[in-house]
Amino acid sequence: MAHIKKKSRENAGIESDFLKRLCTVTPRECAYFPEIVSPIEEVFLWSGYLSPEQTDDYLARGWRRSSWYFYRNSCPECRRCLPIRLEVDAFRTSKSQRRILRKNENTEFRLFKPMDFAERYITKSLEIHNRFLRVRYKKPPRHMDEYFSEFFLSPVETIVSAMFINGMLAGNGFLDLGKTSISTVYFSFDPHFSEFSPGTFSALKEIEWARAHGIRYYYLGYLIRELSSMRYKGSFRPFELLNPDTGIWERQ
């Protein structure tokens, strides 16, 4: 691990981990390493919506979300999956990232409210999502109702990022928006456009948007160095990792 340069202690001002008070701990097969059964802190928020400040809170404490299901790894002996974020104003593009931006100089990047995007693009988006799952992970396709309920219905403010190549939808992602934070929930793209590095390009444009709108932190989910599909997140520098023992974000 790289030398630790800075520790972020802004969490000290947050009164309480409100999801912690509501959660149960359940042993589950690890989503990334199936040979491991790990304790997961989990909460289903079936009703109500979180304020922007609560969104900042849950992200700062290492929680992730899928629809109304909130979860956090609670593995005392494992450090293979660590929450990662960027301080937006500190981020600097690398040489390879600048090449990706140049390659996408004719790619259109847009942001939508979820229902506006669904009205125009949900059929094509699901087609791309299922192709992405099949080619990248050999997973079965999802049905429309499942896709809609998981990504378009949310207890927090959500926006959709989308990229268009030659006028065609090439990929889209879902982001949670807090008062000072933005978090990528999921991004999928048409494998036909892999040469454009859609995941990295979309993240770069989302960071650019966050900076323009005064957002302090951009959350990328988990950094997992053992998985190539998750390792690329470490190329966004400088980044911070959440120390599970102290609850402090440490700049790498």
pLDDT digits (tens, 9 = 90+) for 221-233: 999 999 888 989 9
Q: Which amino acid is at 73?
A: N
Give the DSSP H or E segment for 237. none
Domains defined for the chain, CATH in brackets: 1-252 (3.40.630.30)
Whether the predicted model's global pTM rises above the 0.85 cut? yes
Q: Which residue has the higher pLDDT, 77 or 216?
A: 216
| Confidence bin at 250 (pLDDT 50/70/90) | very high
Q: Exposed, middle or buried, 204 (CB in 10 Å: 0-12/13-18/19+)? A: buried
Distance CA 209, CA 111 (A): 9
Q: Is the pLDDT of residue 105 over 70?
A: yes
Q: What are phi and psi of 22, to 5 degrees?
A: -100, -10
Separation in Å, CA 130 to CA 27, 81, 144, 157, 161 = 29, 25, 10, 25, 18
92 phi-psi bin (left φ>0, alpha ψ -120 to 50, beta other): beta
Q: Is 130 in a helix, a strand, or coil?
A: helix
Are residues 226 and 82 in contact, defined by beta-carbon separation less than 8 angstroms?
no
